Amino acid sequence: MAKKLKITNNIRKLRFFADEMTQQQLAEKTGASRQTIVAVEGGKYSPSLELAFCIADAFGVAIGEVFEYEVEG
């Protein structure tokens, strides 16, 4: 049986270090809506691989620096 993963992200921190990039700016860079970025940042939505790579690309870092996971239970 597949393990349940808890996915967390560092988007808030990365936005801060990217000259306090706004959620709207990140949304425009990734082609997603601001609402999706808000949901991803708040951990309410796990993005597709494509969007996850786009987010990492917007910050110029590897995907592993944006998203992390831990095994639940």
Partner 1 sequence: MSYQEKRIIFTIVTGILILGAYCIYAYKKFQSSAVNTEDIKFWAGSILVFVVIGIVVNIVNQIIFHILIAISIAVEKKIRNENCDEKEIEESIKNGMVTDEMDQLIELKSMKTGFFVSGIGFLLGLVLLVLNYSPIIMINLMFIFFLIGSLLEGFVQLYYYRKGI
User: Which residues of this chain interact with partner 1, rule CB under 8 A?
Assistant: 24, 27-28, 31-36, 39, 42-45, 47-48, 50-51
In angstroms, the CA 49 to CA 55 distance is 10
- Could you tell me the smallest distance in angstroms from the CB atom of residue 38 to partner 1? 8
Question: CB-wise, 33 or 68, nearer to partner 1?
Answer: 33
Query: How many CA atoms, within 13 angstroms, populate the side-chain half-sphere of residue 41?
Result: 19
Largest Cα span, the chain: 43
Question: CB-wise, 22 or 62, nearer to partner 1?
Answer: 22
Question: CB-wise, 14 or 52, nearer to partner 1?
Answer: 52
In angstroms, the CA 34 to CA 46 distance is 15
